[in-house]
Amino acid sequence: MKTRNTILIFGGLALAVVLGIFGWQLSVLPNLRFQIQSGLHNSLQTIADNAAKQLDEAYSQEILQGSQQMKKAVAPANFAQENLAAMRQEMLRISSAHPLANAWIATFPDSSGQRFRAYEYKQPSRYRKETAQLGSWREQTELSQFVQAQLGSLIQPYHSIDSFAATYWQNALDSSLSFVYNKAFNNSIFVGIPWFDQATDSLRGFLFCQTDAWHLDQVFVRDFFKDQFWAAQTQKEGLQRKHLQIGVMAGKGDKLVYNSIAYGAQEFEHTSALADINSWLSDYKVGLRFRGASVESVAESIYDRNLYMILAMFILLISFLALLFRSAVRLVRLSRLKTEFVANVSHEIKTPLASIRLATDTLKLGRAKTPEQQGKIVEIIDTETARLQYLIHNLLDFSQLESGQKKYKMETISLKIWWEQVSQFFQARVPSDLEIKAFSPANAAAIKLDIHALEQVFAILIDNARKYSKLDQRIILSAEIRSNTLRISVQDFGIGISRENRAIIFEKFVRLGNTDVHNVKGHGIGLSIARAILRDHNGKIGLNSQIGKGTTFYLELPLLKGATT
């Protein structure tokens, strides 16, 4: 009782803990939807920012790679008129390797009649100051017409950031030319670089750089968004590529120049500007959204899934606790049954020993005077010895079956011969009130079994039938063949077994809980031994019973050959 109460207390505490956890989960549910939405927004923005940053870096790296090769192409000697063709050729080669941008280069002859002499200021600082106030360089110099007509050439431009540009051109140009980078010549599409001859302090030429927007939109951006980018970003943020849509927009009207889905939505919930590209072009940015769904709808589906998971976990926990509680109750019950088993076995052993001791004392003291009295004493000793031997044999078999060490002497025997042996065994054990129904198996039918093990099963069934059938001790033995399976039935007319007890009657240590049963001697392992022996023979044992009318136990064993009755 104390152990049972302890189990109930711990079970109640465990249930309280589970209910507390479930209640806490329910308490956070109202904020969970908002947290999921916030987390999704943050993840999308992070991916968009990373995409913009990496695209900018790839763009800058591409330009820098071309600018490094321009060092040799743009050299002081090449500004001489006779080397201009060689310079153009080298620039075209570099441009084909790095086709991201276009550039125009123009050089001025030294003739005093050149109309660009207006920019040959003696002081470059004055030139920079005045030109900073000018409008478009096209309107002021008409240089584009001159370049297009005479000196136009495709080249690879430098990076647009000042520090990169200064580093490149300082390395590329000879010390006889000075570098000037003037943002007045940058109209967000073109960048103009003027050169001055330090010896004469005069303007010698211009380099006009223009990013190839078509190549950027149609080739470079598409090549950038490959599987490598997606795999790294989506894995980090816990999202899958197949659920996302990414795009690149340009211009004031957010023209979509790239879309990962051909017919996807045109509006993106999260965007990130492209700083480096925007120094050349206008309003480029990366956009990101879920495919065919808003963040709110995706968050709602995740919320529902989490809710179902919480409920499933709660059900699993309750089921686990119920199973644990059931196992604990069974352990307590098994412990009680073991205690009762030890007490019953002790009583079962003490009773025949006491009878044998009393009988031997009677003989020793000479109280049995006549041969008839002596014969009765010997019969008592023989009966109690057989009873004790039967009990010990069952205990040893039970121990071997429990430990898996039971050894069988399997032999193949004719079913007809074995049935005759079974009938004789029953006739010896039940000399009266036995009915054996006719059974004639085919001569070819055979069965493989341990004869003595099956006789032990029959002895257990006979013993139970006689112990629980005080008023009517008739036993009916019958057999039949069903689908190459032998079915043997042992019917008694005793007290019967209730429906709820039929499920546990074959368990070890079980003795039914009514008064009639407990008044009968027994130890509760007989039927569990019978079930184990049948199981080891690839057979089974079952029963049909009615309270007050009796019980029929049936054994099923597989035959080796087809048989008919």
pLDDT tens, position by position, 78-108? 544 445 556 666 666 666 666 665 555 555 5
Indicate whether 509 pLDDT > 60.
yes
Q: Which helix (H) or strand (E) holds 290?
A: strand 285-290
Indicate whether 460 pLDDT > 70.
yes
Average the pLDDT over each of 75-79, 418-422, 444-448, 479-483 and give the range with the smallest value.
Answer: 75-79
Question: What whole-number percentage of the chain has pLDDT above 70?
Answer: 56
Indicate whether 233 pLDDT > 60.
yes
Q: Which of 100-104, 120-124, 239-243 has the highest mean pLDDT?
A: 239-243
Rg of the chain over all Cα atoms, to the nearest angstrom: 51
Average the pLDDT over each of 150-159, 164-173, 498-507, 513-522 and give the range with the smallest value.
Answer: 150-159
For 199-203, which contacts have Cβ atoms below 8 Å and span 24 or more sequence positions?
A: 200/120, 201/121, 201/122, 201/123, 201/124, 202/120, 202/121, 203/108, 203/116, 203/119, 203/120, 203/121, 203/127
Q: Which of 154-168, 286-300, 311-325, 438-452 has the highest mean pLDDT?
A: 438-452
pTM: 0.43
Location of structure tokens 């190459």: 484
In which band, very low, low, confident or very high, does the pLDDT at 123 lie, cut at 50, 70 and 90?
Answer: very low
Instruction: Give the residue with greater pLDDT, 184 vs 83.
Output: 83
**For 270-283, what is each residue's pLDDT tens digit?**
888 887 777 666 78
Indicate whether 439 pLDDT > 70.
yes
Indicate whether 464 pLDDT > 90.
no
- Average confidence score pLDDT of the chain: 70
Location of structure tokens 């003795």: 511
List beta partners, residue 101. Answer: 211
Indicate whether 466 pLDDT > 80.
yes
Q: How confident is the model over 211-225, as a mean pLDDT? A: 77
Handedness of CA 155, 156, 158, 159 (dihedral sign): positive
In which band, very low, low, confident or very high, does the pLDDT at 265 lie, cut at 50, 70 and 90?
Answer: low
Helix (H, G, I), strand (E, B) or coil at 14: helix
Instruction: Give the residue with greater pLDDT, 165 vs 230.
Output: 230
In the chain, what are the domains? 81-209 (no CATH), 298-400 (1.10.287.130), 409-558 (3.30.565.10)
The CA-based angle 398-404-406, given to 5 degrees, is 60
In which band, very low, low, confident or very high, does the pLDDT at 410 lie, cut at 50, 70 and 90?
Answer: very high
Indicate whether 256 pLDDT > 80.
yes
